[in-house]
Structure 1
Amino acid sequence: DEKQTLVVVGGGAAGVYGAIWAKTACKHLKVVVLERGHFLSKVKISGGGRCNVTTGLFVEPLPLSQQYPRGHKELRGSYFREHGPLETAAWFHEHGVPLKTEEDGRMFPVTDDSGTVVECLLNKARRIGGSFGLFTGNVEILAVSLKSNALVKDIVPLNGRFDVHFKNKNEPFSEKLQADFALLATGSSPQGYKLAKELGHDLVSPAPSLFTFKVADSKLGELAGVSFEHVSVDLEILGWNKRSVNLRQDGPLLVTHWGLSGPAVLRLSAWAARDLLKVDYKGTLWVDFAPKFSLDEVKKLLVKQKTLSPRRKLDSGAPLVLQLVKRFWQYLIHRQDLNEEAVWYELSNRQLGDLAGLLKRCSFQISGKGEFKDEFVTAGGVPLDEVNLKTMESKKCSNLYLAGELLNVDGITGGFNFQASESQSLEISYDHGGNKWFLLLFQNAWTSGYLSGSAIAKKATSRSL
């Protein structure tokens, strides 16, 4: 039989993983991966070079699907059931990259080196069928062909197949590949959106997701680097009469030179990405810096401090049980227009009550989103209802498959986007004073890569029988 060909457009986590699974399940399938830049570049830089491969917190499909602001309804069925975090971890372990689970559920290679993940994937792709391909009887079995610096210009459906036109950045001429199957795994690149649209798909317009907030407060900016292990944050978007329950998040918070960041803020930005875009990233954050205590309990703590240390200077620090950095406590005193030289007994109980109220509900005006060379992750892409989520095959174009961040799926912090592209995970770390917070974007990549690759292999095998 004539050899069948799969062309994968995009050499990120979803594309490479999909190519591996297609080739593994159908050895005689010719697989070519075209990447315009460097293979697995996001995997390489993720986690400050550690790579949070997936999550160990949510292994069941329903709670895992709920970690995706875009996709939590559609992915709650069988999507993660065949290849979720446990299957992902098992695959990497089987291929020489055992993972470890940290206390917060993040799963890293035991080497703490993203390079081991990159090399594992590339070596597996290159060696399927032998280091340079091998012969079985009279049939040649080649490894996956990886072509970098290859910009795909267009994909033309033709009699059930595809003509894929691409150009090497270093060559003046274009080339053509004929493919029986095409897998689009182009991430959030404009070219990928263009290809999907030309092949009949609608697009949910891209919008930044998972970003920090700018806050116009010079005094707050002086506290850059101050972190809070656990706060509760409400986001109120201008123009709304009431807040949605989805716009509240608990978790760590970080003060930056330009405003506020940390997992609690980033999760809010993901859930509210579309609404924030509509109002030009304006709104109000209400932060509870003492979520373990009620307002009345905080008031009593402050009154107790006044009773026990009446002549102690107010700016010397908050009650220890509140676990507030001294500099931040002094910021709150300034916000309340209290005399920094005052001692505790000089404050009335009403003033202490107002200070407690600020601790429990401190407002910050959002003036914009943090600026980065690249956004952490993008909301938008091909609508999920245009894809068969059991196989990742397009409902618009037969034999076309889609995977990874090209789809309108994005995950909140915790390793979820890599698991959607391997079931997808860019991980960004903040390291301030020994505190590391990792924003994970991979579990979608692993799952969608697995589902698409396996489905392509099954169809290719059935055709050759």
Structure 2
Amino acid sequence: MAGAATALLLCQQHSFVTANRFFSASQRKTSNTVISSKHEVLVVVGAGAAGVYAAIHAKTLAPHLTVLIFDKGYPLSKVKISGGGRCNVTNGHCADNMILAENYPRGHKELRGSFFNLHSPVDTMAWFTSHGVELKTEDDGRVFPVSNSSSSIIDCLMSEVKQRGVYVQTRKIVKTASVTNSGKFLLEIQQQPADHAEHVKADYLLIATGSSQQGYTLASQLGHSIVDPVPSLFTFKIEDLRLKELSGVTFPKVKVRLKLECVQRNIPQLTQVGPMLVTHWGLSGPVILRLSAWGARYLFSEGYKGRLIVDFVPDVHVGSLKSILSNHKHKFAKQKLLNSCPPEFGITKRFWSYVLQQQGISGDILWASISNVSLMSISSLLKECIYEVNGKGQFKDEFVTAGGVPLSELLCFERFHLTQWKARFAHVFSLPERY
């Protein structure tokens, strides 16, 4: 959840006063009228993870503030399907904020300062735990609810929304945003279906629309420039009939390296280690998603074509592979190759069969009969299996994009001393895109 959404906070430089109800049911039916409040109002555009979490914290830090969320769809819809339906909440291995910042492909320099010191993953985990959601940290650092269900996160957030008195308006789109002479934001809200429109005045505006074009449009209307967004979290499409037969096979740990024609220098981040999944269209899993994030701009410029080099046994030194295979040959000389794979490799029987097929080795021969040349070819494939990437996985909406409002145009990350609540608010919810 954390890091998967982008939010931009725009606000006036004065403190909160007592707030009241935003507007009544009868007012909501009014067409083409200006709806305002004599009390201070925060409008959040987008009911995703960032928007909802931001609204809750704003209301917590300023209880008398009126907080209203607008969204064209249902709240937290992407949270529901994130992490394979489990919801990856944050990272539990980076207690050092400096190290954590380095994991952001874009924006790590800006995040090294006071940003994470104000609200780190530790704070995020503590917040959910204090609100009744038990969390667990997996070996690769990903944090999930113990229930393994995103509904635990959704129920927690929506319960807080209700308890804090945050108003959520669905099937409504914020079409335009401007600033009045008095310094307030004037927003045009369109009901879905577009049968009428209303205008809302707000003292504070939080744009939390992720990669939606809506957010870019609003930011542009308010004077921000936009860096053209490109997909930044996707799977790799690979045309390999034998690989497709392995669909569903997982690898707990592989090392992958991406080679692209446009990249002539060594970029350490284009090599990643982690879990991988074979799909019917190619390769996926955390290690592929991280690689796509670091190579987002390069892959876009190359038309999502490149060469992927996979080390299926990264913990086994290349010099040890031949010894392991030779020892296995002598120990299991009378067994068929297909029925006996060295356990040191930690691979499935399906993948072992794939390795033998790729090297043209019959699985029916005995280990005693395999040649040293064949052992070397098996070693080579396990340590350096090459795939041609010829596209990215196709999704209706990309979860994450690289681009949007330049960080240089956001509130300076070193100036979070306006007030305690405002510092935390701007800090937590102006997250640049992580992946």
TM-score by length of 1: 0.77
What is the letter of the counterpart of residue 203 of structure 1? I
2:262 equivalent to 1:248 = no
Q: 2:175 aligns with which of 139, 144, 153?
A: 153
Structure 2 gap ranges (5+): 1-16, 18-37, 418-424
Using the TM superposition, give the Cα deviation of residue 111 of structure 1 relative to its aligned residue in structure 2, in angstroms.
4.3
Distance 1:387 1:226, change over 3 A: same
What does 1:346-357 correspond to in 2, within 5 Å? 346-357=369-380
What is the letter of the counterpart of residue 78 of structure 2? K
Q: 1:202 aligns with which of 199, 216, 225?
A: 225
2:59 equivalent to 1:23 = yes
What does 1:65-214 correspond to in 2, within 5 Å? 65-128=101-164, 143-159=165-181, 160-170=183-193, 172-214=195-237
2:386 equivalent to 1:363 = yes
Question: Which is worse superposed, 109-118 or 19-28?
Answer: 109-118
Identity over aligned residues, as a percent? 47
**Cα separation, 2, equivalents of 1:49 and 1:216:** 27
Question: Which is worse superposed, 235-244 or 147-156?
Answer: 235-244
Distance 1:124 1:325, change over 3 A: closer
**Cα separation, 2, equivalents of 1:100 and 1:309:** 41
1:333 aligns to what?
A: 356
Using the TM superposition, give the Cα deviation of residue 339 of structure 1 relative to its aligned residue in structure 2, in angstroms.
4.1
What is the letter of the counterpart of residue 59 of structure 1? A
**Contact 1:183 / 1:403 at 8 angstroms: preserved in 2?**
no
Question: Which is worse superposed, 184-193 or 316-325?
Answer: 316-325
What is the letter of the counterpart of residue 120 of structure 1? C
- 1:132-163 per-residue CA deviation (whole Å, 9 max, x = no partner) reads xxxxxxxxxxx332211111110111121111
**Cα separation, 1, equivalents of 2:137 and 2:374:** 46
**Cα separation, 2, equivalents of 1:101 and 1:301:** 33
- 1:195-252 per-residue CA deviation (whole Å, 9 max, x = no partner) reads 1112111222111122111111101111112222222111111343354211111112
Using the TM superposition, give the Cα deviation of residue 40 of structure 1 relative to its aligned residue in structure 2, in angstroms.
1.8
2:317 equivalent to 1:317 = no
Distance 1:352 1:111, change over 3 A: closer
**Cα separation, 2, equivalents of 1:40 and 1:367:** 32
Using the TM superposition, give the Cα deviation of residue 359 of structure 1 relative to its aligned residue in structure 2, in angstroms.
1.5
Question: Which is worse superposed, 99-108 or 172-181?
Answer: 99-108
Distance 1:97 1:65, change over 3 A: same
DSSP-derived class of the 1:234 partner: strand
**Contact 2:119 / 2:428 at 8 angstroms: preserved in 1?**
no
What is the letter of the counterpart of residue 151 of structure 1? I
- 1:363-385 per-residue CA deviation (whole Å, 9 max, x = no partner) reads 11111111223323222221111
Using the TM superposition, give the Cα deviation of residue 194 of structure 1 relative to its aligned residue in structure 2, in angstroms.
0.8
**Cα separation, 2, equivalents of 1:231 and 1:110:** 26
**Cα separation, 2, equivalents of 1:148 and 1:404:** 24
Q: Which structure shows the higher strand fraction? A: 1
DSSP-derived class of the 1:123 partner: helix
**Contact 1:235 / 1:243 at 8 angstroms: preserved in 2?**
no
Distance 1:404 1:42, change over 3 A: farther
What does 1:5-20 correspond to in 2, within 5 Å? 5-20=41-56
Distance 1:13 1:277, change over 3 A: same
- 1:13-72 per-residue CA deviation (whole Å, 9 max, x = no partner) reads 222222222222223322222111111222233334433322221122112212221222
How large is the Cα RMSD of the aligned pairs?
2.6
Distance 1:123 1:359, change over 3 A: closer
Structure 1 gap ranges (5+): 129-142, 394-400, 412-465
2:259 aligns to what?
A: 236
**Contact 2:113 / 2:414 at 8 angstroms: preserved in 1?**
no
